[in-house]
Homo-oligomer: A and B are copies of this chain.
Amino acid sequence: MVKKRKLGRGVAIVGAGMSKFGMFKDKDSKDLFTEAFNEMTASVNKGIDPNDIDALYLGNFSNDFFMHQSHWGPIIADIIGTVPKPATRTEGACASSALAFREGIFAIASGFYDIVLVGGLEEMSKRTTEEVAEGLALATVPYEGRAGFTFPGVFGAIATAYFEKYGANREHLMNVTIKSHNNAPLNPKAQFKLTIRDMMNVKVESAKKKGLPVTEWIDEKDFLRDPRANPVVAWPMHLYDCCPISDGASCMLLVAEEIAKNFTDAPIYVAGIGQGSGRGLHACKDFTYFEATRYAAQEAYGMSNLKPEDIQFAEVHDCFSIAELLHIEDLGFFEPGEGYKAVADGLTRLNGTKPINTSGGLKCKGHPVGATGISQLYEVWTQLRGKAGKRQVPIDDLRVGGAHNLGGTGGTCTFTILERR
């Protein structure tokens, strides 16, 4: 039983921004953060003077490894002009900026600061795929990465366990992939802009033009089953089960609840926060759930007095297709072993009863790891303000959404509930 917790002072989001996600040879971390920051300032409709920002929290996983540069707090404080005010980096692997968001909340709720910028960034695409895999493996526990267990292998093992326990199979993973690819073209910031059907057509047209033999796939699953189109990475994780290598940045302006209306007509409020930790796969008796996610969820539900059924839609950490299935169960949206059936029934589609990863998810929006946590919150914030355009969740009176972020092999998990009042 997780203890029920409260903040002494409420916190609201009054602005947010994110860069486009993708592989950018001509942009560095500073360019990407600037892009996010400029969108954030423009989104605060009554205006924000950067001089009024009291502190910065910045999530970054390991630009140490990827870019041979650490200590990003003051570098970003410099470019946005908040020096000599404090700048603190948080790291929790792929959940690094969800931790920055949480520390920003504590800093305000403590009464010490009133206006805090939280953000995240990662610059990965300048390294080779092999180097990125090596860098990401720094986030596993020593028993995993050092033994040669990189992330596709970890999630392959998790998928196998889930299949075995609940009778799911690769076809069910494909439902997650197809959904993510259907949502992403509606998100102008997403790294991948094509549905699986679009991809099929592209490949057919390309083969025809080159005079090569043409494969005409029957449907998306036929395409995803074809090992030439969708090769195996670490069984049962195939290429289209895995998120890409990405560069990107995200940020959010948090203020004390009582001053939120000074900044915007449309504040979004932090209803619940939760964070948990995990020991890694070597210590798990059962690979089919993440203890850290369950803990984080209970903490957030406890604070918010909300239940899983109250969360109208959510962004969920889908670094691999199987992760989305586990997490929608761990968060209580579906019973253990029922997640894959719910996805098969279309419940998590944009027009389903519980839309998941309307942004396209990590799979298609992209996953610049340190930027991801706040980019998920950005999507929830956007949806709650009714500003999601073609991917707007078609639910009347959209008021409550959740964002779930996972780091490492479940070492760090967060769940955050936002609400419009």
Chain A: residues with CB nearer than 8 A to chain B?
3, 5-9, 54-56, 61-62, 64-65, 68-71, 73-75, 77-78, 82-93, 99, 102-103, 105-107, 109-113, 138-142, 145-146, 273, 275-280, 283, 291-292, 294-296, 407-408, 411-412
Contacts and interface: CB of A to CB of B under 8 A. Distances in A.
Contact of A83 (B145, B279, B296): B279
A16 to B, nearest CB: 21
A141 B3 CA distance: 42
Contacts of A105: 110
Given A70-B93, A71-B91, A88-B92, A111 B7 contact: yes
Given A88-B92, A278-B83, A71 B139 contact: yes
A279 to B, nearest CB: 5
B106 A71 contact: no
Contacts of A62: 64, 70
Contacts of A89: 90-92
B279 A78 contact: yes
Nearest to A86: B275
Contacts of A90: 88-91
The dominant DSSP class at the A interface is mixed
22 contacts: A5-B111, A5-B113, A9-B110, A69-B138, A71-B139, A71-B408, A71-B411, A73-B412, A74-B277, A74-B279, A74-B412, A82-B277, A84-B278, A84-B292, A85-B277, A86-B412, A87-B411, A88-B90, A88-B92, A89-B90, A109-B111, A110-B110
A58 to B, nearest CB: 10
A372 to B, nearest CB: 14
Contact of A110 (B78, B88, B109, B278): B109
A102 B273 CA distance: 19
A71 B86 contact: no
A277 B87 contact: yes
B106 A74 contact: no
In order of increasing CB-CB distance, the 9 nearest A-B pairs are: A8-B111, A74-B411, A109-B110, A86-B275, A70-B138, A84-B295, A106-B106, A64-B64, A74-B277
A81 to B, nearest CB: 10
Given A88-B275, A275-B88, A70 B61 contact: yes
A237 to B, nearest CB: 21
A400 to B, nearest CB: 20
Contacts of A142: 69, 75
Given A5-B113, A106-B107, A412 B279 contact: no
B109 A112 contact: yes
A102 B90 CA distance: 12
A291 B84 contact: yes
A73 B277 contact: yes
Nearest to A72: B91
B112 A91 contact: no
Contact of A71 (B7, B8, B103, B138): B138
Contacts of A279: 74, 78, 83
A295 B85 contact: yes
Contacts of A92: 71, 73, 87-89
Given A103-B106, A141-B74, A87 B412 contact: yes
A122 B55 CA distance: 26
Given A7-B110, A64-B62, A64-B65, A103 B88 contact: yes
A414 to B, nearest CB: 8
Given A112-B5, A112-B109, A283-B78, A70 B84 contact: no
Contacts of A93: 70-71
A90 to B, nearest CB: 6
Contacts of A9: 8, 110-111
A8 B69 CA distance: 36
Contacts of A64: 62, 64-65, 70, 138
Given A71-B139, A74-B279, A85-B276, 10 more contacts: A7-B111, A7-B112, A70-B91, A71-B93, A71-B408, A85-B295, A86-B412, A88-B412, A103-B103, A109-B111
